[in-house]
Structure 1
Amino acid sequence: MTKDSNIHIAETDAQIAACFVVLKDLRPHLKDAAELVQRVRLQNQEGYVLAYAADASGTPAACIGFRRQNRLVHGKVIYVDDLVTSETGRSRGYGAALLDWLEHLAKEEGFKAVDLDSGTQRTEAHRFYFRQRYAISSFHFLKRI
């Protein structure tokens, strides 16, 4: 896969909808592409950006959703909400290319770090993050109310 030429921001509803087949693996609670478009559009208002790496046919093979943030603990960071590669696209470099692209963007824009959470059950993803030189920096706690 070429470095940045196959990475695109999902700006149109059609581009967002095309990402559904990839994102449904990470977010199985989403019922269909229309719901994804609706939720992404709402999150866009909060600074969320959805990007994807396309395969040779132009179809999304991996997706990354992120936000630019400014935090007391780290300063300017880019937080990754979503990162997933389609089952058929795994181990082909799409996820690494998206992270490389995002890290380059972060450096260009003066951000100090890229931050993400990963579910405790996602051991294959954890191995990938370690290979990409990410470190476990904290525990993330959640209380449903």
Structure 2
Amino acid sequence: MSIVDITTDEGRIAEPGWLARAEEVHRELRPQLPEEYVEKMQRVFAGGARMSVAVDDDAVLGVAVWRVYEDTSIGRKLYVDDLVTTESARSEGVGQTLLTWLEARARKLDCRALTLDSGVQRARAHRFYFREGLSVFAFNFRRDL
């Protein structure tokens, strides 16, 4: 298994073939993504996000959408928008490999923390994050508009 960066540091799609193969896996987490997936992701990347995928031969096993930014509470951090392993490869180390790779990238980019949000209904994901040494440090509130 290896990790492939689909985007450049400037947010351009560097690997369109991998992006096309990542869509199906990404939709396992985000089925509501629009039919115009590439156009949607181009807008997300233009806003600072990056995508990296875990691959085995020509198959995408996992997807990470992430970004680096600085805020007033933590400082510079790597925030993971989406982290998903395809159902058929769960519990085989794909998520752990992606998370380890993201942490190494965060350190390389001089981040003080790696953060993510996980829906309250995702108990299996929560167990994974706790097992990987992440902790709950804040509540995330929202109001739909």
What TM-score does the superposition give when structure 2 sets the normalisation length?
Answer: 0.91
Q: Which amino acid aligns with 2:31?
A: P
How many residues of Structure 1 are paired with residues of Structure 2 in the alignment?
138
Q: Distance in 1 between matches of 2:82 and 2:38?
A: 15
What is the 5 A alignment of 1:56-135?
57-135=57-135
1:44 to partner: Cα distance? 1.3
Identity among equivalent pairs (%): 36
| Partner secondary structure for residue 19 of structure 1 | helix
Structure 1 segments (4+ residues) deviating >3 Å? none
Q: Deviations over 1:10-31 (max 9, x none)?
A: 1332221210111111101124
Q: Which residue in the other structure is 2:49 paired with?
A: 48
Are the counterparts in 2 of residues 16 and 36 from structure 1 also a CA contact under 8 Å?
no
| Partner secondary structure for residue 28 of structure 2 | helix
Long gaps (5+) in structure 1: none
Are the counterparts in 1 of residues 64 and 98 from structure 2 also a CA contact under 8 Å?
yes
1:133 to partner: Cα distance? 0.4
Q: Deviations over 1:82-138 (max 9, x none)?
A: 000000110111111011011011111110000100000000000000011000111
1:139 to partner: Cα distance? 0.8
Are the counterparts in 2 of residues 48 and 67 from structure 1 also a CA contact under 8 Å?
yes
Q: Deviations over 1:39-84 (max 9, x none)?
A: 11111111110110012x3211000000101010000000000000
Long gaps (5+) in structure 2: 7-13
What TM-score does the superposition give when structure 1 sets the normalisation length?
Answer: 0.91
Q: Distance in 2 between matches of 1:92 and 1:106?
A: 23
Are the counterparts in 2 of residues 62 and 85 from structure 1 also a CA contact under 8 Å?
yes
